[in-house]
Amino acid sequence: MKDPKKVAAVMAAVKAYIQTEEEALVFQSMPVPAKPPAEPFSPWRFSGRQDQMQMRLQMLMKAYHR
């Protein structure tokens, strides 16, 4: 490998690979941001969602089309 263009290309590729690995290590060492607290359980919201899903299922089963 005495062609200077090939040597330069190999050196650039190795440098890019090493830099990518270093960036990955830095990214992995960063702390994970905390998730915001979830909303408390609401039986009203749960009931409403359940009613919506049941209505859609009945519409799909054609319970209201007759």
pLDDT tens digits for 10-62? 999 999 999 999 999 988 888 878 888 788 888 888 898 899 999 888 888 87
Q: Look at residue 49 and tell me if it is in a domain.
A: no
Q: Look at residue 39 and tell me if it is in a domain.
A: no
pTM > 0.85: yes or no: no
Q: Look at residue 44 and tell me if it is in a domain.
A: no
Q: Look at residue 46 and tell me if it is in a domain.
A: no
| pLDDT for res 59 | 84
Domain hosting residue 9, numbered range: 1-31
Q: Look at residue 2 and tell me if it is in a domain.
A: yes
Examine the pLDDT at 1 and tell me if it is beyond 70: no
**7/13 Cα distance (integer angstroms):** 10
For the four alpha carbons of 39, 45, 49 and 54, in that order, the dihedral sign comes to positive
* Residue 61 Cα distances to 6, 40, 52, 58, angstroms: 67, 33, 14, 5
| pLDDT for res 23 | 92
